[in-house]
Amino acid sequence: MASALFIAVLLTLASSGALASDPGPLQDFCVADNASAVLVNGFICKNPMKVDVNDFFFSGLNKPGNTNNRVGSNVTTVNVNQIGGLNTLGISLVRIDYAPYGQNPPHTHPRATEILTVIEGTLHVGFVTSNPQNRLIFQSPQRGIANAVFGSNPKIDDGVLAKAFQVDKKVIDYLQSQFWEDNNN
Ligand SMILES: *[C@@H]1O[C@H](CO)[C@@H](O)[C@H](O)[C@H]1NC(C)=O
Ligand SMILES: *[C@@H]1O[C@H](CO)[C@@H](O)[C@H](O)[C@H]1NC(C)=O
């Protein structure tokens, strides 16, 4: 049985009745020009006349990732880096392989929606609602903290994290000194 915990945090801005959302795309596609150093809302668009079928194709999701690592999972990503044609479209896909009792460490998907399909086995999945409730939905135990928090470079000030997680600074120092597996989650 594999186990995973997902944390989705939605950030909401309190303001005086103003609403904001992603605008609709202004073009049908904007294939990433990965040769350009310019970054706008995603990658800059490649010349449409130079776009071809390979910009919309990826193969390899049939191959299991190697889960022999500290978190016991492996995320194979299919995003703009694999399919340039996904640039600015706000959609991506991953394949996640889990070792028995493997975990996909808690992480966030700001302003994104996730759909999870289990092909084989059983997953324990949960998420925490955004402020102010911070409610854990589903049945997962709260354990581990994302490498983004304790494995950042440079490190987040341990005093800040000690206060945030209501633990002694020594606990934070210990966590920050650990090797944080990056499985692309
Ligand atoms: C950049 O794009 C080219 C052409 O689309 C592709 O062959 C190459 O793999 C891409 N490189 C990276 C690092 O994504
Ligand atoms: C995930 O699996 C791929 C393919 O076996 C491997 O190359 C990669 O190193 C693995 N990543 C991790 C974090 O274990």
3-state secondary structure of 73: strand
CA-wise closest residue to 126 among 148, 111, 134:
134
Q: Which segment of 16-20, 85-89, 125-129 scores lowest on mean pLDDT?
A: 16-20
Under the banding of pLDDT at 50, 70 and 90, the label for residue 21 is low
Residue 59 has pLDDT above 90, yes or no: yes
46 and 109 share one domain: no
88 and 140 share one domain: no
Q: Is 107 annotated as a binding residue?
A: yes
* Domain's final residue, options 74, 104, 134: 104
Cα of 34 from ligand 1 centre, angstroms: 6
Pocket of ligand 2 (CB under 6 A): 65-66, 69, 74, 183
119 and 86 share one domain: no
pLDDT score of 128: 76
Residue 62 has pLDDT above 80, yes or no: yes
Rounded Cα distance, 25 and 175, in Å: 41
Residue 7 lies in a domain: no
Residue 3 lies in a domain: no
Residue 157 lies in a domain: yes
pLDDT in tens, 123-181: 888 777 777 666 777 754 444 455 678 877 788 899 988 887 889 999 999 988 887 76
Cα of 109 from ligand 1 centre, angstroms: 25
Q: Please, are residues 4 and 125 in contact by the beta-carbon 8 Å criterion?
A: yes
Cα of 65 from ligand 1 centre, angstroms: 21
Cα of 61 from ligand 2 centre, angstroms: 13
Question: Residue 185: which domain range?
Answer: 105-185
pLDDT mean across residues, the chain: 80
119 and 58 share one domain: no
pLDDT score of 140: 46
Q: Is 181 annotated as a binding residue?
A: no
pLDDT in tens, 91-109: 999 999 999 999 887 778 8
Q: Which residue's alpha carbon is at the smallest distance from atom 8 of ligand 2?
A: 66
96 and 114 share one domain: no
Residue 13 has pLDDT above 80, yes or no: no
pLDDT score of 114: 87
Residue 17 lies in a domain: no
- Domain harbouring 76, CATH code: 2.60.120.10
Under the banding of pLDDT at 50, 70 and 90, the label for residue 20 is low
Q: Which residue's alpha carbon is at the smallest distance from atom 13 of ligand 2?
A: 183
Cis peptide before 141 (omega within 30 of 0): no
Number of domains in the chain: 2
Rounded Cα distance, 93 and 25, in Å: 19
Share of residues in the chain with pLDDT > 70 (%):
76
95 and 110 share one domain: no
Residue 20 lies in a domain: no
116 and 94 share one domain: no
Residue 1 has pLDDT above 60, yes or no: no
Rounded Cα distance, 84 and 32, in Å: 5
Pocket of ligand 1 (CB under 6 A): 34, 55, 81, 84
More confident residue, 140 or 83: 83
Position of tokens 């470079």? 153
Ligand with an atom nearest the CA of residue 55: 1
* Domain's final residue, options 104, 134, 163: 104
Residue 13 lies in a domain: no
Residue 10 lies in a domain: no
Ligand with an atom nearest the CA of residue 185: 2
98 and 126 share one domain: no
Rounded Cα distance, 168 and 158, in Å: 9
Q: Which atom of ligand 1 is nearest to the CA of 81?
A: 14
Long-range pairs, 41-45, Cβ under 8 A, ≥24: 41/88, 42/80, 42/87, 42/88, 43/80, 43/84, 43/87, 45/87
109 and 160 share one domain: yes
* Domain's final residue, options 104, 137, 157: 104
